Amino acid sequence: MTDPTRPARTLGILGGGQLGWMLGTAARRLGIECVFLDPGESCPSDMVGRRIRTAYDDESGLDRLASESDVVTYEFENVPAHAAARLLERVPVRPGPRSLETSQDRLVEKSFIESLGVPVPRFAPIDTPDDLPAAMKQVGSESIFKTRRGGYDGKGQVRLHAGEDPVARLAGLQGAPVIAEALVPFDLEASMLVVRGTDGSTLTWSAIQNEHAGGILRRSDAPGPGISAAAETAMRRHAATIANALEHVGVLAVEFFILGNEVLVNEIAPRVHNSGHLTIEHARTSQFENHVRAVVGLPLESTEPRFPMATMLNAIGDRPGDSELENAGVGLIDELGDGGSPLGSGQARWHDYRKTPRAGRKVGHLTIVGDSIDEQRVAELAAMVPGAAEAPSLASGE
């Protein structure tokens, strides 16, 4: 039986992808062992911990994970509800079921966030085509239809432009329950990561500005150069409000649309987040370490920045060559996530997920820290990182 007054020593993690690997790396440094559950043939997390190789809803696998762990967390929010329930009968699961249920359904998520007085885009549910007229009245003709469940990286979404037939566009989503959202003419997209401990304390990191192409995150900058002080303050406040209302334990990622000083929440993820990879080098304590600290019941550590600026570039579909990295003076971390000496200002580091390259797949990322963003240096690095140069501000002629 787990002693609730002592921090856990073995952390179970659902999912062995790059987020699981980075969580496992942070846990090892804290002397916490990890056991992963993931059906994959080989996983990035294999570099840092043992693995139960079953489907996420396999009862014997879940029972083994529960019996081998003091607490269980996850790297993705689409944990099947019955898997979470089965684990919860045997072991604490953090973040808890409220965070999971809320983030798994866009209608529940948006309604909940709005009920807290936190601004969201106008939205309306569409269960059948009969709901379309009322929904279109609510959100306007320039809108987006999103499936309530299961969408990510822009999947399960269709855009409706003025003059298009909403019935035909809706049919593209194959009858799934949908929400319609007003199209937001945002200046930029951003994220705020908040961590909440078992004692209810919260900490936030710098506001992060994100650039996507083809629905995939390409580049993140912290603090976001286009985010005003007023917008950043509002982002921090809204993220903490949501984390507190969910009684969340661990990191919560809140994605925003920014229009001047106005901020609207797009969605939340009850987990560490791709945009927060840069916290490994940029912050005194990374999102991964503070997530582990929170879920095992250790005190949170400072999220203050070590450098004025950090930029992260995602490698999509392929990785840069070793000699290219070396020639560009980019350091590497080893398989266990140890990167030798801490970065100095102006230095960059490559994180390799050891995944088989495939179109559209995130296979690694590069972070550069410094006193300011050196766009020329970022452009040089982006030219070397496959997929990164597709970010709108980096691509020529876009």
User: For tokens 């927060």, what's the residue?
Assistant: 276
Q: What DSSP designation does 93 have? A: B
Residue 32 or 391 having the CB closest to ligand AMP: 391
- Rounded CA-CA distance 37/73 in Å is 11
Q: What's the min distance (Å) between Cβ of 380 and ligand AMP?
A: 27
Residue 129 or 154 having the CB closest to ligand AMP: 154
Q: What is the CA radius of gyration of the chain?
A: 21
Q: What's the min distance (Å) between Cβ of 255 and ligand AMP?
A: 6
Residue 8 or 268 having the CB closest to ligand AMP: 268
Residue 8 or 316 having the CB closest to ligand AMP: 316
Please identify which residue in 48, 65, 178, 184 interacts with ligand AMP, judged by CB under 6 A: 184
Helix ranges restricted to H, the chain:
18-29, 59-68, 81-88, 97-104, 106-115, 132-139, 166-171, 229-245, 279-282, 287-296, 322-327, 375-384
Chain centroid to CA 317: how far? Answer: 19
Please identify which residue in 70, 109, 232, 267 interacts with ligand AMP, judged by CB under 6 A: 267
- Rounded CA-CA distance 14/61 in Å is 11
Q: What's the min distance (Å) between Cβ of 79 and ligand AMP?
A: 18
Within 203-262, which residues bind ligand AMP (CB under 6 A)?
Answer: 212, 215, 255
Residue 52 or 144 having the CB closest to ligand AMP: 144
Spatial contact of 392 and 398, defined as CB atoms under 8 Å apart: yes
- AA letter at 156: G
Residue 37 or 269 having the CB closest to ligand AMP: 269
Q: What's the min distance (Å) between Cβ of 122 and ligand AMP?
A: 9
Residue 70 or 189 having the CB closest to ligand AMP: 189
Within 137-166, which residues bind ligand AMP (CB under 6 A)?
Answer: 144, 146, 151, 154
Residue 110 or 319 having the CB closest to ligand AMP: 110
Q: What's the min distance (Å) between Cβ of 185 and ligand AMP?
A: 8
Residue 144 or 251 having the CB closest to ligand AMP: 144
| CA nearest neighbour of 183 among 144, 151, 156, 212 | 144
Burial pattern 148-181, b for ≥16 Cβ within 10 A else e, equals beebeeeebbbebeeeeebeebbeebeebbbbbb
C-alpha neighbours within 13 Å on the C-beta side of residue 108: 11
Using rule CB under 6 A, residue 390 touches ligand AMP: no
Q: What's the min distance (Å) between Cβ of 4 and ligand AMP?
A: 36
Q: What's the min distance (Å) between Cβ of 12 and ligand AMP?
A: 28
Q: What DSSP designation does 251 have? A: E
Number of residues binding to ligand AMP, judged by CB under 6 A: 14
User: Closest residue (Cβ) to ligand AMP?
Assistant: 184
Please identify which residue in 103, 147, 198, 266 interacts with ligand AMP, judged by CB under 6 A: 266
Q: Is 51 helix (H, G, I), strand (E, B) or coil?
A: strand
Q: What's the min distance (Å) between Cβ of 218 and ligand AMP?
A: 11
- Rounded CA-CA distance 308/193 in Å is 18
Q: What's the min distance (Å) between Cβ of 292 and ligand AMP?
A: 26
Task: Candidates 10-18, 166-174, 176-184, 222-230: pick the segment binding ligand AMP (CB under 6 A).
Answer: 176-184
Q: What DSSP designation does 308 have? A: S
Q: To 5 degrees, how large is the angle CA 218–CA 224–CA 226? A: 105
- Rounded CA-CA distance 300/204 in Å is 11
β-partners of residue 350 are 332, 366
Count other Cβ atoms within 10 Å, centred on residue 190: 28
Using rule CB under 6 A, residue 121 touches ligand AMP: yes
Task: Candidates 64-72, 93-101, 181-189, 326-334: pick the segment binding ligand AMP (CB under 6 A).
Answer: 181-189
Q: What's the min distance (Å) between Cβ of 100 and ligand AMP?
A: 17
- Rounded CA-CA distance 186/290 in Å is 31
Q: Name the residues that contact ligand AMP, by CB under 6 A.
A: 121, 144, 146, 151, 154, 181, 183-184, 189, 212, 215, 255, 266-267
